[in-house]
Structure 1
Amino acid sequence: MNYFIEIIGWIGAVLIVGAYFFNINGQLKSSSVVYIISNLFGGIFFTINTFVHQAYPSMIVNIIWVVIAIAAILKKNKPTRAN
């Protein structure tokens, strides 16, 4: 098996589970850039890993995970309008 694919799969797991752990323990807000970026790259890495392993249902879940993270980044960067 390609070790690179396995390594990025494990990195993806650490990023997503680590961000969740810190969020649950009140050390990282779900709206923070670190949380969102961790989920974005974790999802990308998982998508690559699951694609190579032909685990297509998991791949679709991770693609959705990435889209949600991108939407959160865009929302954070959207300028607010003054009333």
Structure 2
Amino acid sequence: MNLLQIMIEVIGWTAAAIILASYVLLSLGKLEPRGAAYQWMNVVGATGLVINSGYNGALPSAGLNIIWAAIGLFTLWNVRRISRADRC
């Protein structure tokens, strides 16, 4: 296994741990579903899994995680937009 493959594996396992941690924290009531921390954990985790699964040729997983990250980014944008509208 060369250095690139090791880095890809580390990215994948770290990403999986981040997504799992976000779910555990959400389930324990430590994070809010529309909160920035939860959404960013999902965006970062999904991005890492896109890198890992894309490199390994697991295109269905890569596609799913692209959508997963896009949902997180959309939610962050939407929450921020609503928050700004409420201040006006």
Does the alignment reach a TM-score above 0.5?
yes
Gaps of 5+ in 1: none
Indicate conservation of the 8 Å contact 2:22/2:41, yes or no: yes
TM-score, normalised with respect to structure 1:
0.92
Q: Where in structure 2 are the equivalents of 1:47-66 lying within 5 Å?
A: 47-66=50-69
Q: Where in structure 2 are the equivalents of 1:2-17 lying within 5 Å?
A: 2-17=5-20
Gaps of 5+ in 2: none
- Give me the CA root mean square deviation: 1.5
TM-score, normalised with respect to structure 2:
0.87
Counterpart of 2:28, as a letter, is N
Aligned residues: 83
1:12-58 deviation digits (Å, cap 9, x = unpaired): 10111100001011111111111000000000000000000000000
Counterpart of 1:64, as a letter, is I
1:23 has 2:26 as partner: yes
Structure showing the higher helix proportion among its residues: 2
Identity among equivalent positions (%) equals: 29
